[in-house]
């Protein structure tokens, strides 16, 4: 069914903290090598927030830039949706901190879909604009994963980085461009594959949870790898089918940036040439909900996307969750 109003991305922003952490730095921290990290993941560097820099600090910078690029003022924003799994606090929401720092006067809430956070949040923003309830929605993905990483665990600490991205979602001025379809999926039966088990109501913080390191991110990497390839492949096929098109019509695929080998496997299954897949995992590592929006921002900045292109965002993450959006640029 055609929506009442089509939603589009009017301005994008990104913010990456300054502090660089290379594979060679990690060699001095845990039993790993640059060679292992590069060949198993494609990652070379990642950026880490300063002590005291929270998810809202990174997110607000991305929002300011997105608003500037959209030529809009904070006072014109009607809703802020923040995707994060590393919020400033359990509550209040990181979205409220961002609303205050921006000086916006509007509704604001967080949502958690782990690495699928941005495509999920974009679908939610799309729904608000399409229904006519709001005309200008800020959709943000922001993470300070470094605060939840066990820096002694080589199986996870080499993979993640901090960063934020934001998009201003507004009504499209024409009928051709904008978000044509979104697709969301989940499978809570596999929640144990990727989680921060401690600190919530299931395992409230205690001496035991701290001693057991339950406040750190835990992942069964090779299991997650297999599901990631399968679900991202399926999500891309589903979202493009919803638009009445095929995988061959995609001009640029912006996938979640977790591991270069995952992206190669997804490309192989979809039979999409690697040149059509935007990759920046080598620079930033996995920034969870910030990954897809920062990749989209970089792709646009580097001139990889032109007007009329069919762009697909796709992600996979803890939950388990997966999501995709098809955007006609
Ligand atoms: O963003 C949300 C989703 N997250 C992902 O999509 C991540 C998905 N998973 C992955 O990217 C990969 O599974 C990893 C990069 C995490 C691991 O790669 P893998 O090829 O699946 O390796 P593995 O876990 O099977 O481990 C292979 C070996 C093990 O040694 P043994 O048991 O074979 O002797 C590990 O102990 O590599 C070892 N290893 C390391 N060695 C050096 C694990 N981490 C490291 C390390 N440096 N940092």
Q: Could you tell me the mean pLDDT of each successive run of 10 residues in the chain, 329 residues long?
A: 84 98 98 98 98 97 98 98 98 98 98 98 97 97 98 98 98 90 98 97 97 97 96 98 97 98 98 97 98 98 97 98 98
What's the pLDDT score for residue 259? 97
Nearest CA to ligand 1 atom 22: 222
Mutate to test the pocket of ligand 1, among 31, 159, 195, 225 (most ligand atoms within 8 A of CB): 225
Q: 256 an active-site residue?
A: yes
Mutate to test the pocket of ligand 1, among 37, 86, 157, 222 (most ligand atoms within 8 A of CB): 222
Nearest atom (ligand 1) to Cα of 158: 48
Question: Which among 10, 16, 7 has a CA at the least distance from the CA of 285?
Answer: 16
What's the pLDDT score for residue 4? 72
Q: How far is the CA of 155 from the centre of ligand 1 (A)?
A: 6
- Peptide linkage before 97 cis (omega within 30 of 0): no
Q: How far is the CA of 168 from the centre of ligand 1 (A)?
A: 36
Q: Is residue 189 within 6 Å of ligand 1 at its C-beta?
A: no
What's the pLDDT score for residue 2? 64
Distance set, CA 15 to CA 25, 111, 257, 293 (Å): 22, 20, 16, 11
Chain centre distance of CA 96: 19
Question: In the chain, what is the straight-line distance between the N-terminal and C-terminal CA atoms, in Å?
Answer: 20
State the burial class of residue 245 (Cβ atoms within 10 Å of its Cβ: 0-12, 13-18, 19+): middle
* Token digits of residue 71: 């030529």
DSSP 191: G
pTM (predicted TM-score): 0.97
Q: 268 an active-site residue?
A: no
Question: Which among 163, 166, 152 has a CA at the least distance from the CA of 20?
Answer: 163
Q: 286 an active-site residue?
A: yes
Residues 57, 82 contacting (CB under 8 angstroms)? no
Question: Which among 239, 185, 217 has a CA at the least distance from the CA of 286?
Answer: 217
What's the pLDDT score for residue 174? 85
What's the pLDDT score for residue 1? 60
Pairing of strands 310-317, 321-328: antiparallel
**Phi and psi based region of residue 163 (left: phi greater than 0; alpha: psi -120 to 50; beta: remaining):** left
Q: How far is the CA of 221 from the centre of ligand 1 (A)?
A: 6
Residues 169, 130 contacting (CB under 8 angstroms)? no
Q: How far is the CA of 194 from the centre of ligand 1 (A)?
A: 13
Nearest atom (ligand 1) to Cα of 291: 1
Distance set, CA 224 to CA 1, 194, 214, 231, 306 (Å): 34, 8, 19, 10, 33
Dmax over CA atoms of the chain, in Å, equals 57
Q: Is residue 40 within 6 Å of ligand 1 at its C-beta?
A: yes
């Amino acid at each position: 069914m055609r929506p009442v109003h089509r939603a589009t991305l009017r301005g994008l922003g990104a913010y990456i903290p300054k502090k660089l952490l290379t594979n060679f730095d990690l060699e001095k921290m845990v039993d790993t090598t640059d060679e292992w990290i590069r060949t198993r993941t494609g990652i070379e560097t990642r950026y880490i927030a300063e002590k005291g820099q929270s998810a809202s600090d990174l997110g607000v910078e991305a929002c300011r830039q997105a608003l500037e690029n959209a030529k809009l003022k904070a006072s014109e924003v009607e809703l802020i949706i923040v995707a994060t799994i590393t919020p400033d606090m359990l509550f209040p929401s990181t979205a409220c901190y961002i609303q205050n720092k921006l000086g916006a006067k509007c509704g604001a809430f967080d949502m958690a879909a782990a690495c699928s956070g941005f495509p999920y949040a974009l679908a939610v923003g799309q729904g608000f604009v399409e229904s006519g309830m709001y005309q200008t929605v800020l959709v943000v993905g922001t993470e300070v994963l470094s605060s939840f990483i066990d820096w002694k665990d080589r199986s996870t600490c080499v993979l993640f980085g901090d960063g934020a991205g934001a998009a201003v979602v507004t009504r499209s001025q024409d009928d051709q461009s904008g978000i044509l379809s979104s697709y969301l999926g989940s499978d809570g039966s596999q929640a144990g594959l990727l989680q921060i088990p401690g600190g919530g109501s299931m395992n409230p913080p205690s001496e035991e949870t701290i001693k057991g390191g339950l406040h750190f991110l835990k992942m069964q990497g090779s299991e997650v790898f297999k599901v990631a390839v399968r679900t991202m492949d399926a999500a891309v096929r589903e979202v493009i089918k919803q638009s009445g098109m095929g995988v061959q019509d995609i001009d640029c695929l912006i996938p979640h940036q977790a591991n270069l080998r995952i992206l190669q496997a997804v490309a192989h299954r979809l039979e999409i040439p690697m040149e059509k897949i935007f990759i920046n995992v080598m620079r930033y590592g996995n920034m969870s909900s910030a990954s897809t929006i920062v990749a989209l921002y970089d792709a646009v900045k580097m001139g990889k996307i032109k007007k009329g292109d069919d762009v697909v965002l796709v992600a996979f993450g803890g939950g388990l969750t997966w999501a995709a959006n098809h955007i006609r640029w």
